[in-house]
Amino acid sequence: MDLKDGEKLVRYAREVIEKHVKGEKIPDLENFEEKAGVFVTINKYPSHMLRGCIGIPEPIYPLNKAIKEAAISACHDPRFPDLEKDELDEIVVEVTVLTPPQLIKCEPKDYPRHIKIGRDGLIVEKGFYKGLLLPQVAVEYKWNAEEFLSQTCIKAGLPPDAWFDEETKVYKFQGEVFAEKEPRGEVIKLELENA
């Protein structure tokens, strides 16, 4: 996806967030009809502390609908209080468009060899437990592949070594990340592998 399209998605996510928080009518996004998974992340500015992050990992909705749903949901991330009007000038918006998740087929001990930090995000699933971490999380925390697997297990509510269990499924996906540099400012494409 090129920067121009990425910028449209970030601007739309910002518009959805602002109009939703103010209780105004949210317009639909033209085009972007192809189905794709997407996450909308709200960070505080300038600290970049997480303020909300919700997404739809599977490509079940057209991107324009998925981004609207994710942006509204990110305002109500259960880990934080609901986003308030007086915070809108102090947040930056980030959109991650995902490739469909692929099951990693190998012996559990070999998972780390199939994961590239800065490129791959992870989903860990066992029974009713499921956790997802975006590619940029491992870069941000400077995790290696084993740490990334363990942290994704923890996110799923499983023990950190659950990825060694034969019944645990591990999926990987890639994401293109577009983000505001400052509130309502320039939108850039984040190059994770070089981070």
- Whether the predicted pLDDT of 166 surpasses 70: yes
Q: How many CB atoms lie within 10 A of CB 127?
A: 9
Instruction: Please give the average per-residue pLDDT across 162-184, as a whole number.
Output: 96
Identify the band that residue 193 occupies on the pLDDT scale cut at 50, 70 and 90.
low
d(CA 140, CA 192): 9
d(CA 60, CA 150): 27
Place of tokens 């998974």: 37
Instruction: Please give the average per-residue pLDDT across 102-131, as a whole number.
Output: 96
Q: How many CB atoms lie within 10 A of CB 179?
A: 21
Q: Domain map of the chain by residue range?
A: 3-99+175-190, 102-173
CATH node for 3-99+175-190: 3.30.700.20
Instruction: Please give the average per-residue pLDDT across 148-156, as a whole number.
Output: 98
Strand residues in the chain grouped as ranges (E): 37-44, 50-56, 91-98, 102-103, 120-126, 129-133, 169-180, 187-190
d(CA 176, CA 18): 23
Query: Bridge-partner residues for 133, per DSSP?
Result: 122
Place of tokens 């090129």: 2
CATH node for 102-173: 3.30.1490.150
Q: What backbone torsions phi and psi does residue 75 show, to the nearest 5 degrees?
A: -70, -15
